[in-house]
Structure 1
Amino acid sequence: MEERKKTAREIIEGYQGPPVRIMEVCGTHTHEIFRLGIRRLLPSQVELISGPGCPVCVTPVGFIDEAVYLALEKQVTICTFGDLVRVPGTKKSLADARAEGARIRIVYSPADAEKYAKEHPKEQVVFLSVGFETTTPAGCLSVKKAGEDGLSNYSLLVANKTMPQAYQALKGSADVFLYPGHVNAITGTALCEHLAEEGISGVVAGFTAKELLTALAVALVRFQEGKPFFVNGYPRVVKSEGSPEAQKLIDELMEPCDSEWRGLGVIPGSGLVLRKEWEAFDARKKYAVPPIQGRPNPACRCGDVLQGKCRPSDCKVFGKVCTPQHPVGACMVSNEGACSAYFMYGNGCPL
């Protein structure tokens, strides 16, 4: 009789290989793995660590300071995703600025911000454009639409980032990367395949319980083989070529630039900026925003968390001074943040 194949859960629970550190690059993966109780299945030699895949979390303090400057000094209307409102800046958050009379509007997409600008021509409107390859196309589309609508009162404060250089910067911080499926849906798999050739292993993972368990099981099986590897564990969404249309749109409106990542510092070529022909929609240039060097709270260890150097629960202010109601750092604010996940699902203890 043919031997029954083991399930993904059985592979994970029965793992007896060498110690392995798997980095959940994506914040949504961190939250889902906690929420689904997958950490309970892990043997002691399997360690999950958080990475820089939360766009709000890696956005530096200086960006918040720039947004506060625009809101209070230039009296623009700031349109933003809700997560950014309570992220602390050097002295103030956007919530603090709103309490002082600044116009801060929560939107669900850049298209909402462009529409608001069109409907309120007497207001200068700035959308806070943060995110990775997944959300960047939507910001580009809003700029094209603003151009088509002839708007002169809409612009972006850009902090969009790209993942390839971050993976290189994190080389050696984990044995296996759990790649974010939604990013790879845009970029394709060529980069990950190339990284495997350079010795960086990883598995693209989806977001359901089955997909996450399968990705972790594949990672453990392949890790024991002792060779760098790449596996696309999300083939129903991620194709080798990614989304050529989205890639073309980004390339049409934006170009690479050096970018600061919270915790990782400035990573060359890891950011995006609007091309010269679209600079009328660049808020920094439009409002001559001065150079602003943000200063994070020295008690906050978000930077170490984002590099996998510590767990959120290792931070002295975690769960005490720093809570979702009164966050000290971005990782406690965002619904993709590692600190938020640890706080919500057991203060960092395997459940």
Structure 2
Amino acid sequence: MNPEIVEQLKAYDGRPLRIMEVCGTHTHEIFRQGIRSLLPEKIRLISGPGCPVCVTPVGYIDQAVALARRGVVICTFGDLIRVPGSEASLADARKEGAVIKMVYSPLDALEFAKANPDQDVVFLSVGFETTTPASCMAVRNAKNEAVRNFSILTANKTMDQAYYALRDSADAFLYPGHVSAITGTAIYRQLCADGISGVITGFTGPEIITALTVITKKCAEGKPFFVNAYPRVVTDEGSRPGRKLIHEIMEPIDSEWRGLGVIPRSGLALRSEYADFDARKKYNLENISGHANPACRCGDVLKGDCTPFDCPLFDRVCTPEHPVGACMVSNEGACSAFYTYGKEAQE
């Protein structure tokens, strides 16, 4: 790290600042690099809802478990398997005999469906703008190739509306580089015009330190701001092919976020032309509200209302080996980061 920039940050003596990182990778890197120990008392870092598994509501897990128990092959990324639902996780369903297959992309799930035409296959499509294009590509390919035994259960979300929902929780945001590489910078310029400040940054310690220093200087000016501090990856236009694919296959909907409630037009669902590949319609799935363990404060952590240390279950009942909430399961979750790195920080 540049010692001069570190010293500038450590010397900050302006008004108290709340800076929210909304990317789990940022949270883990901040801990791993010991960045919190470099910050003056007036700067508070808040871990926000940047983990797609963490913000996926309990009811979605309940729907996936219901499908698995009906004999549908569930294909999913590994983190979702252990996320608790209202009564059971996918790992519990697998112990009961359900087929839960871990894949590395939705295209893997499509290939499995093509190789096993006698089995119904559902891919659990969870993620932000970064991973959504791959789900769209799988659905488009399935339609073009007439793969009738493949569908997806969507929980895809977009980040821009979440910043509006969280605008009172932070003075500025550390915007995620990988999401921004898809979206481009237009949404952040609009956020700035609406009074919301932030800096796009990469994932190394020096990049994060630089972004935090930029935030302190810009906040001192007293005006909303936006800075792209990750220009080698994030361009103004972002990924036009990725956004075009998403727009072709999916459309915005109101969506529930764990801890944040329903955020208007923050989710994505398959358009009517692709209804045959929508697992909810294909299997007539009912909406399930779901209920988390009432003692779990995962929702409050995602809003920045508390840290994992404030949860009565953290490191007592809830551990990575026996997670009670989604934030402890995912490698991008705040509770996972605080458990892995945060004990020393607390001490």
Smaller-chain TM-score range?
over 0.9
Give the TM-score, by structure 2 length: 0.98
Q: Which stretch shows the higher mean deviation, 126-135 or 140-149? A: 140-149
Matched, 1:54 2:51: yes
Match of 2:103 in 1: 107
The 2-side partners of 1:17 and 1:128 are apart by 46
Cα displacement (A) at 1:171: 1.0
Given that 1:256 and 1:272 are in contact with CA atoms closer than 8 Å, whether structure 2 keeps it comes out as yes
The residue number in structure 2 matching 1:273 is 269
Q: How does 1:27-38 map to 2 (within 5 A)?
A: 27-38=24-35
Show the counterpart of 2:184.
Answer: 188
Give 1:157's aligned residue: 153
Q: Which residue of 2 aligns with 1:40?
A: 37
1:69 matches 2:93: no
Say yes or no: does 1:22 pair with 2:16: no
Shift of the 257–348 alpha-carbon distance from structure 1 to 2, 3 Å rule, reads farther
Matches within 5 A, 1:79-118: 79-118=75-114
Q: Which one of the candidate residues 288, 294, 300 is aligned to 1:292?
A: 288
Is the counterpart of residue 334 in structure 1 residue 324 in structure 2? Answer: no
Distance 1:307 1:348, change over 3 A: farther
Q: Structure 1 length as normaliser, TM-score? A: 0.96
1:312 touches 1:348 (CA, 8 Å); kept in 2?
no
Q: CA deviation at 1:296?
A: 0.9
Q: Conserved in 2, the CA contact under 8 Å of 1:40 and 1:350?
A: no
Residue 305 (structure 2) pairs with residue 309 (structure 1)? yes
Aligned-partner SS, 1:297: coil
* Superposed CA RMSD: 1.2
Q: Find the aligned partners of 1:49 and 1:154 in 2 and give their Cα distance.
A: 39
Q: Is the 8 A contact 1:110 1:138 kept in 2?
A: yes
Q: Is the partner of 1:327 in helix, strand or coil?
A: coil
Q: Is the 8 A contact 2:37 2:345 kept in 1?
A: no
| Contact 2:83/2:326 (<8 A) preserved | yes
Looking at structure 1, the residues matched to 203 and 6 of structure 2 have their Cα atoms a distance apart, in angstroms, of 16
Offset of 1:199 from its aligned partner? 1.4
- Quick one: distance in 2 between partners of 1:180 and 1:23? 11
Alpha-carbon deviations, 1:117-167, whole Å to 9, x = none?
A: 111111110000000111100000111111222200100000000111111
Aligned residues: 346
Distance 1:189 1:85 in 2: 34
**1:348 offset after TM fit, Å?**
7.5
SS at match of 1:150: coil
Secondary structure at 1:267's aligned position in 2? strand
1:268 shift after superposition: 1.1
Tell me the CA shift for residue 350 of structure 1: 5.4
Q: Mark the runs of 5 or more structure 1 residues left unpaired by the alignment.
A: none
* Percent identity of equivalent pairs: 65
Contact 1:311 1:348 in 2 (8 A): no
Corresponding position: 1:239 with 2:274:
no
Per the alignment, residue 126 of structure 1 pairs with 122
Cα displacement (A) at 1:6: 7.2
CA distance in 1, matches of 2:25, 2:346: 17
**Equivalent-residue separation in structure 1 for 2:4 and 2:236 (angstroms):** 26
How far does the alpha carbon of each residue in 1:278-328 deviate from its partner, in whole angstroms, 9 at most, with x for none? 010000000001221201110111110001100111111111001001111
